[in-house]
């Protein structure tokens, strides 16, 4: 299952801040599809802890953002339109900034993307992120 997640309302970071992430539940990876005002790497790893999804960088387990209540381990899985609170924690030395996450799309097909970090196996460093249009 792949999810398109929209993060927004991080007013203390930037009033216009948002990010659109593409989550691959099977590979436990994510890619950045679009963003403004949030400093995110192009891709990274996903972890699930106590019913929350941790959006981590590509080379460490420190979360950039915690998607509270988005539990990728549930059998029913997330659904389109599901929402919750997001805690932005990428700015070291600053307190957590609260925003929201919103599931825009759930893709249960086993199709491979044309472009993006998930398009060519396990070497996401050599690939560019998928472009949305």
- The residue among 90 and 37 whose pLDDT is bigger is 37
Answer whether residue 25 shows pLDDT above 70. yes
Q: What is residue 96's predicted lDDT score, i.e. its pLDDT?
A: 81
- Residues 6 or more apart whose Cβ sits within 8 Å of residue 94: none
State if pTM tops 0.85: no
Residue 6 host element (H or E): strand 2-8
Q: Mean pLDDT, to the nearest integer, of 15-41?
A: 90
Q: Tokens 């387990």 belong to which residue?
A: 61
- Dihedral of CA atoms 90, 114, 71, 92 in degrees, nearest 10, equals 0
Q: What token pair was written down for 67?
A: 């998607």
**What's the rounded Cα separation, in Å, for the pair 133 and 127?**
18
Identify the pLDDT of residue 91: 67
φ, ψ dihedrals at 102, nearest 5°: -145, 125
Closest CA to 83 of 11, 2, 3: 3
pLDDT at 113: 53
Residues 32-59, mean pLDDT to the nearest whole number: 92
Q: Which pLDDT score, from 0 to 100, does residue 123 have?
A: 46
Q: Where do the domains of the chain lie?
A: 2-108
Q: Which residues pair with 35 in a beta bridge?
A: 19
Count of residues in the chain: 133
- 128 three-class SS: coil
- Lowest pLDDT segment from 7-16, 79-88, 97-106: 7-16
Q: What is the pLDDT of residues 98-130, one digit of tens each?
A: 899 999 999 887 655 555 555 444 544 433 334
Q: Is residue 133 predicted with pLDDT exceeding 50?
A: no
């Amino acid at each position: 299952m792949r999810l398109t997640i929209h993060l927004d309302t991080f007013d203390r970071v930037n009033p216009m801040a948002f990010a659109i992430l593409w989550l691959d539940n099977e590979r436990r990876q994510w890619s950045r599809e679009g963003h403004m005002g949030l400093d995110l790497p192009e891709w990274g790893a996903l972890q699930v802890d106590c019913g929350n999804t941790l959006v981590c960088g590509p080379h460490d387990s420190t979360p950039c953002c915690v998607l509270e209540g988005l539990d990728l381990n549930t059998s029913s899985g997330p659904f389109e339109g599901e929402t919750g609170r997001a805690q932005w924690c990428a700015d070291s030395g600053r307190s957590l900034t609260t925003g929201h996450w919103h599931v825009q799309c759930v893709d249960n097909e086993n199709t491979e993307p044309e472009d993006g970090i998930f398009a060519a196996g396990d070497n996401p460093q050599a690939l560019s992120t998928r472009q949305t249009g």
